[in-house]
Amino acid sequence: MLVSIVVPCFNCEHTIQRTINSLFRQTYRNLEIILIDDGSTDKTAHIVDNLKQTDSRIVVKHIPNKGVSHARNVGINISQGSFITFVDSDDELEPNIIQQAIIAQKKIDADIVFFGHADITIKTSSTNRHDYSLVKPIDLTIAQHNETFFQTMFELERSRYLFSCWGKLIRKSWIADTRFETDINYGEDTTWILTLLKKKGRIIAIPDIGYLYHQSSQGLLNSFSPKKSESIVKAHQRQIQFYLWSQMPAEYQRFVQLRLTNDVFWALQTIKTVSVSVPLQKRMEFIKTLTDSPLRSMYLRNAKFASVGRWLKILFVINSDPLWLRYCARPKTLTDMN
C-alpha cells in the first residue's frame, strides 16, 4: 500500500533536511514523499531539488506562493498513494509511526487513523518535550452524529488529536474532493478535519506518539497578521457547523467554546507585537473584526475563563473604540496588568 507524505515547504532552508531525514528513517518503505515548494525565496527550492536526486520516492513541485492550504491541496491532487499523511517542513515523524498507523488501519479497515504527538521546544541549553497521547485506543464507526460520536470527539480533542491535519493517516478516496479552504490561514487544519468527520466512515486513534511538533515563537498563534482576524471568524463559523450542542456533553460544550474564545483573545494579544509600520486604522479593523464577530455572545459567555489578563477581558466586554485605540497605541499598558 503506497502512502503519500505531503510536505508544504516555504522558506524552510534551516529545517527541511531534518524533516526529510525523519521520513527517510521510516521503517515502512512504500512511500511517496511530495515536497511542495510554495514560492520560497531562500534556498529551499535548491535544497528540495537536490534531495530529489537522492531518493526516487521524492516528488518535487514548485508553485507560486499562495499559502499552506493551497500547497496542501496541490499535494493531495498529485498524490498517488491510497493513504495520505501531512508533515510540516519544520517537524518530524518518529521512525515507526507510518508502520504502526497502517497496522491499526488494517484492524478495522479505517478511513482515518489518529496518532499522538509531542511538542518540542528547543532552547539554548535544553530541549523540552511534552507528549500528548491517549491512554488506550479508540475506534468508532461514524454512522450518525449522536452522543456516542461526540463523546469520542471529546476524548480526541482533550488529547489534542483533533486540531491539526498532521498526526493522521487518511484514506485518499475518503478525502475525495474535500480540500483546505484557501481563504483561511488560521484554524484551517481543524476546519478541514471537522469537515471530513461529517462523512460516514471508520476512525481509529492509537496511543503511539508519532509526530514531533517543533514549537516556534514566530508561529501564527503568536504573531500578528492583518488577515488573521478574518480567518479566525471564518474558521469559527465553519467549525461551529460541525458541533450539535444538543448531542454533546455539557463539559464538551464548555471545552469547545473556551477553545474558540481563547483563539480570539490570543489574537487580540498579538497587537502587542505589531510593527509600527501597520497603520492604526488597520489595527482597529483587526480588533473590531474579532470583537464584533457574529459569535460575540459565545465569546462573552466564556471570557472570564479565557487564558489572558483581566484587563483584556474587560476591554472585550466594554468594547469601546476609544479604549481599543489606547490599547493599540500603548498595548503593554493594559495587557501587562493582571
Sequence-distant (≥ 6) Cβ neighbours of residue 175 within 8 angstroms: 76, 84, 196
pLDDT of 7 over the 80 cut: yes
- Reported confidence tier of residue 222, pLDDT bands at 50, 70, 90: low
- pLDDT of 337: 42
Question: What is the spatial distance between Cα 60 and Cα 15, in angstroms, rounded to a whole number?
Answer: 17
Q: Mean pLDDT for the chain? A: 93
Helix (H, G, I), strand (E, B) or coil at 211: strand
Instruction: Dump pLDDT digits (tens) for 272-304.
Output: 778 778 889 999 999 999 999 999 999 999 999
Question: What is the spatial distance between Cα 266 and Cα 84, in angstroms, rounded to a whole number?
Answer: 31
- pLDDT of 328: 84
Answer yes or no: pTM beyond 0.75: yes
pLDDT of 331 over the 80 cut: no
CA-closest candidate to residue 262, choices 227, 219, 221, 213 = 221
- pLDDT of 334: 45
- pLDDT of 223: 64
CA-closest candidate to residue 195, choices 230, 242, 235 = 242
- pLDDT of 227: 86
CA-closest candidate to residue 260, choices 287, 240, 284, 282 = 240
- pLDDT of 333: 45
pLDDT of 336 over the 50 cut: no
DSSP codes of every residue in 61-130 = EEE----HHHHHHHHHHH---SEEEE--TT-EE-TTHHHHHHHHHHHHT-SEEEEEEEEEEE-SS-EEEE
Indicate the fold that domain 3-214 takes in CATH.
Answer: Spore Coat Polysaccharide Biosynthesis Protein SpsA; Chain A (3.90.550)
Instruction: Dump pLDDT digits (tens) for 88-146.
Output: 999 999 999 999 999 999 999 999 999 999 999 988 778 899 999 999 999 999 998 99
Write b or e for each residue in 172-187: b if 16 or more Cβ atoms lie within 10 A of its Cβ, otherwise e.
Answer: bebbeeebbbeebbbb
CA-closest candidate to residue 210, choices 57, 102, 122, 89 = 102
CA-closest candidate to residue 175, choices 98, 296, 288, 86 = 86
Q: Do the Cβ atoms of 334 and 312 come closer than 8 Å?
A: yes
Instruction: Dump pLDDT digits (tens) for 296-328.
Output: 999 999 999 999 999 999 999 999 999 999 988
pLDDT of 28 over the 60 cut: yes
Least confident of 60-69, 93-102, 183-192, 197-206: 183-192
Q: Which residue in this structure is represented by grid cell 528513517?
A: 25
- Reported confidence tier of residue 330, pLDDT bands at 50, 70, 90: low
- Please give the grid coordinates belonging to residue 210: 508519532
